[in-house]
Amino acid sequence: MEKTKTNESGFTETAQKAADWIAERDDFHVIGHFDADGLTSIGIIGQTLFRLGKKFESKAIKQLYADELDGIEKQNIIFLDLGSGQINTIREKLKGKNILILDHHTPEETGSAKTGNSESGSSKDESESIKSEPESEILEFNPHMFGIDGGTEISGAGMSFFVASRFGFNDLSALAIVGAAGDMQDYSHARLVGKNREILDIAKKEKVLEYKNDLRLYGRMSRPILQMLVYSTDPVLPNLTADEKNSLYFLEKLCIPLKTRDGEWRTYSGLEPSEKKALVSALINHCIANNLSRYKMKFLIGEVYELLLEEPGSPLRDAKEFATILNSCGRNNKPDIGIRLCMGERDQAYKEALLMWAKHKTALRTGIEFIQATGIQEKKNYLLIDGKDRISESIIGIIAGMLYSSNNIPHNKPIFALACDGSEKLKISARGNRDLVFKGLDLSAAMKTACEKVDGEGGGHKIAAGAKINAAKKDEFFKVIDEVMKQQMTAQGK
């Protein structure tokens, strides 16, 4: 798809308008998304308001339902990392209020004028009058309006940052990178691109962040090396991920002590330069020998982002680990802890956040152990793992992905994973691989077809999809899946 030409001056002008909007007002209600990008957005705008001496309260929510907008008393409302997709609801529910939306999601099609520019959404330099509709008073700052891709080039935190930057608060750029990492915007190129790159340069100049090429495995800052290998998912390391015995053997061969003299587990960031080098080249050789695709190799070595103002060895020093900690706050229904972390608090909030992160990691580990103990069922046209009520539905998909890519599992069929959280609902996650998709696998279509039969909800992507059905309909569901898989896989012949 050809994208519209980037309108840089329009972008900066609207950022300035958003900054002016804030400067002219006081007493705000800030609502943001509860994931890492939303929480860092709240941190960036919250710190901006705080430094400007403005009053505000903030809240992070999972989804912007209409009733979320009931009972908001404040006159000035700022939506962060959400809002663009719900602009009609906002317009309707918050008549007479002053609204600022800083979001990067695809804007909702509205019948009425957008951001003072009614001409088919294309951005024009001279889009002067923001408040073209007197009753709605919505100022929306969204990259899509300027021909910038909100999926890969800038996150909600990035949009928030460009507003904060108008006040000169360029140190907040580090949080914007955490937000981008949280939304996996570094995923498709194994590095940040577009507007995110601009933020990186500002962060570097401000000396709040450093970026370099290095081992990109998750946990490089704070996970024991052994765990870093065993739990690696981007990429999944053949014969090492989810295989503790083999990972241990791999490290022993390298003669890298796993513990310090004091008996503490060593992390990658704590290794000597020579040890780092040895580990990295051994990993590269191992992956080549095990036929890891060149595409996945990109994720082994690539750009990493280090927050220089965080303590050495702290997980907050690595943008990805920081983002995961924030996500585990949201997932445990404690987004407020994440907000406090993003506002700069490092005492109590940090301790609590670490606890929630630890909970998440333990859940992953026990989940994998449970499946290893109970086994993977090989059906004719798919693989099946059953987490029963022992693996939470929020992580069953991650676990399926980790196990699936380990080499002991046949890769000629997709994997389905079940989780049942006590209720009569069954959550199903499915994962495939590129080769299968190339041959015709479409898990999203399969989930939809099967869900239609059993009155469930499902969808996703060709390579990964999810569904929720009534547990009693499990057999019926998989009867359909079996048929659809067979059809999709045999369609390859043509």
Stretch in the footprint of Mn ion (CB under 5 A) among 58-66, 149-157, 251-259, 357-365 = 149-157
Q: Which residue, 164 or 236, has its beta carbon nearer to Mn ion?
A: 164
Of residues 168 through 187, those in contact with Mn ion by CB under 5 A are 183
Q: Which residue, 156 or 458, has its beta carbon nearer to Mn ion?
A: 156
Q: Is 83 in the site for Mn ion (CB under 5 A)?
A: no
Stretch in the footprint of Mn ion (CB under 5 A) among 23-31, 74-82, 392-400, 449-457 = 74-82
DSSP helix/strand/coil, 169? coil
Q: Is 140 in the site for Mn ion (CB under 5 A)?
A: no
Q: Which residue, 13 or 183, has its beta carbon nearer to Mn ion?
A: 183
Q: Which residue, 185 or 269, has its beta carbon nearer to Mn ion?
A: 185
- Angle (CA) 21-24-30 rounded to 5° is 60
Which helix (DSSP H) or strand (DSSP E) does residue 56 occupy? strand 56-61
Q: How far is the CB of 83 from Mn ion (least distance, A)?
A: 11
- Tokens 């890969």 appear where? 152
Q: Which residue, 58 or 155, has its beta carbon nearer to Mn ion?
A: 155
Q: Is 81 in the site for Mn ion (CB under 5 A)?
A: yes
Q: How far is the CB of 23 from Mn ion (least distance, A)?
A: 25
Q: How far is the CB of 58 from Mn ion (least distance, A)?
A: 16
The two structure tokens encoding residue 237: 């390391």
Q: How far is the CB of 25 from Mn ion (least distance, A)?
A: 24
Q: How far is the CB of 338 from Mn ion (least distance, A)?
A: 14
Q: How far is the CB of 185 from Mn ion (least distance, A)?
A: 9
Confirm if 421 and 437 have CB atoms less than 8 A apart. no
Q: Which residue, 323 or 451, has its beta carbon nearer to Mn ion?
A: 323
Of residues 196 through 225, those in contact with Mn ion by CB under 5 A are none
Q: Which residue, 40 or 165, has its beta carbon nearer to Mn ion?
A: 40
Q: How far is the CB of 189 from Mn ion (least distance, A)?
A: 18
* 426 DSSP assignment: E
Q: Which residue, 181 or 426, has its beta carbon nearer to Mn ion?
A: 181
Number of residues that bind Mn ion (CB under 5 A): 5
Query: In whole angstroms, what is the distance from residue 151 CA to residue 144 CA?
Result: 9
Stretch in the footprint of Mn ion (CB under 5 A) among 75-83, 92-100, 198-206, 333-341 = 75-83
Q: Is 352 in the site for Mn ion (CB under 5 A)?
A: no
Angle between helices 156-166 and 195-205 (to 10 degrees): 50
> What is the separation of C-alpha 61 from the centre of its chain, rounded to a whole number of angstroms?
16
Q: How far is the CB of 99 from Mn ion (least distance, A)?
A: 19
The DSSP line for 338-369 is HHHHHTT--SHHHHHHHHHHHHHHHHHHHHHH
- Amino acid, single-letter form, for residue 24: E
Pairing between β-strand 464-470 and β-strand 425-431 as defined by DSSP bridges: antiparallel
- Amino acid, single-letter form, for residue 149: D
Number of neighbours of residue 247 by Cβ within 10 angstroms:
22
Q: How far is the CB of 403 from Mn ion (least distance, A)?
A: 28
The two structure tokens encoding residue 493: 């012949």
Assign 3-class secondary structure to 381-411. Answer: CCEEEECCCCCCCCCHHHHHHHHHCCCCCCC
Pairing between β-strand 98-102 and β-strand 138-141 as defined by DSSP bridges: parallel
Stretch 19-48: interaction string toward Mn ion, x if CB under 5 A: ------------------x-----------
Q: How far is the CB of 61 from Mn ion (least distance, A)?
A: 13
Residue among 359, 329, 363, 360 nearest 345 (CA): 329
The two structure tokens encoding residue 450: 């099967």
Q: Which residue, 239 or 324, has its beta carbon nearer to Mn ion?
A: 324
Query: In whole angstroms, what is the distance from residue 104 CA to residue 119 CA?
Result: 20
Q: Which residue, 330 or 387, has its beta carbon nearer to Mn ion?
A: 330
Of residues 97 through 136, those in contact with Mn ion by CB under 5 A are none
Stretch 249-268: interaction string toward Mn ion, x if CB under 5 A: --------------------
Using Cβ positions, the residue closest to Mn ion within the complex turns out to be 37
Residue among 77, 249, 239, 37 nearest 157 (CA): 37
- Angle (CA) 311-317-319 rounded to 5° is 165
Q: Is 156 in the site for Mn ion (CB under 5 A)?
A: yes
- Amino acid, single-letter form, for residue 443: L
Confirm if 332 and 355 have CB atoms less than 8 A apart. no
Q: How far is the CB of 108 from Mn ion (least distance, A)?
A: 16
Stretch in the footprint of Mn ion (CB under 5 A) among 153-161, 213-221, 260-268, 305-313 = 153-161
Q: Which residue, 177 or 237, has its beta carbon nearer to Mn ion?
A: 177
Give contact residues for Mn ion (rule: CB under 5 A).
Answer: 37, 81, 155-156, 183
